Amino acid sequence: MGWVGAAILLPMAVGAMSFQVPNREQRLQAIGTTAGLSGALQRAFAPADDFEPVPAPGPSDWLAVHPESGQSFEQFVRSGPNRPDQKRNILYLQPLGEFRPGVAPPLDSLREYAAAYFALEVRVLPSLSLDRQNITTRRNPTTGHRQLLTTDILTTLKKRIAADAFCLLGITMEDLYPEPSWNFVFGQASLRERVGVYSFARYDPAFYGVPRGGDYARTLLRRSAKVLVHETGHMFGLAHCVYFRCVFNGSNHLDESDARPLHECPVDLRKLHHSIGFDVPQRYASLRRFYRKVGFEDEAAWTHRRLEWIVGPEEARRLVATVDEDAKS
């Protein structure tokens, strides 16, 4: 069982070891040798100028508080992580409670994004009413908001996981807590049982009594899409990234989470590719299409640049046109 993206009631003790930012050599070592791979894959796993090294953490940032040592591609493979196979290859999303339009991120966009990101089929299940489940709740004394006990949710999800599921992920607009002594938790997962739950509640400014602002819908979709792939990545056995600015960086607070990019670094792309076996250029073309559709123009431009680096401008144009055309028909 792993705590994910947690914040606790008491100040955390800072570990005796402090985090050392990996140098260029260490970043390349984490990717591993790509000799013997196709030219396209060698370029896909080469950082070129498209990825920034992980920055030195500020005092309240994740790596200052949790000085993790990282997980290279080779360490990932050796850990024997769960992989989708012939029998279990569908990502299921289980909404818990209400997802009100205008307040919650659109489930269909989240489904579409996860499908493009992991190149797997993603299904959104009908929402579970919280009243009918045996889920312990409490009212958080600081925020005044209702909170759901994650362990009860995981117990419910374990009973409901489908035979063809790679994993079943509960998502909710309610706030969560993992045990009475904790203030809250963003999410929690059991990798062995292939279930997890996470909340988007704290990505909504209204949670803190702050006005939502004009660009709220896009901001919430970006934050939710980010947490969705980050937490789903843990289900594939990906540990936090300490090498580059990456969607799999740990985060301790909202500013840190907002500063993370939507894309993964070459170390994590290689892990996902090893696990899922997708076509890397095809996947980038699908992601670019999604980013254009929802107005994430910076991400669309980054993805297009990356695609051009891997397959060349002409082939990139052809792939993008094919994916866009398929989406219309």
User: Catalytic residues, which ones?
Assistant: 231
CB closer to Zn ion, 28 vs 128: 28
As measured in angstroms, the least distance from the Cβ of 286 to Zn ion is 20
Query: Which residue stretch of 3-11, 41-49, 127-135, 305-313 sits at the interface with Zn ion (rule: CB under 5 A)?
Result: 3-11
As measured in angstroms, the least distance from the Cβ of 243 to Zn ion is 6
| DSSP SS3 for 93 | strand
117: its two tokens? 């990101």
241 binds Zn ion (CB under 5 A): yes
DSSP for 271-321 reads HHHHHH---HHHHHHHHHHHHHHHT-HHHHHHHHHHHHHHH-HHHHHHHHH
Query: Which residue stretch of 32-40, 98-106, 196-204, 236-244 sits at the interface with Zn ion (rule: CB under 5 A)?
Result: 236-244
Query: Which residue stretch of 13-21, 161-169, 239-247, 276-284 sits at the interface with Zn ion (rule: CB under 5 A)?
Result: 239-247
61 binds Zn ion (CB under 5 A): no
329: its two tokens? 């028909």
As measured in angstroms, the least distance from the Cβ of 153 to Zn ion is 17
Spell out, one character per residue from 245 to 284, where the chain touches Zn ion: x when CB under 5 A holds, - when not: -x-x----------------x-xx----------------
CA-to-CA distance for 180 and 8, rounded, in angstroms?
A: 11
Place of tokens 């009631």: 9
CB closer to Zn ion, 54 vs 168: 54
222: its two tokens? 């970006």
CA-to-CA distance for 303 and 316, rounded, in angstroms?
A: 10
CB closer to Zn ion, 43 vs 66: 66
CA-to-CA distance for 6 and 186, rounded, in angstroms?
A: 6
Q: Which residues of 121-134 are buried (b: 16+ CB within 10 A; e: fewer)?
A: ebebeeebebeeee
Query: Which residue stretch of 60-68, 85-93, 161-169, 235-243 sits at the interface with Zn ion (rule: CB under 5 A)?
Result: 235-243
Residues at the interface with Zn ion (CB under 5 A): 4, 241, 246, 248, 265, 267-268
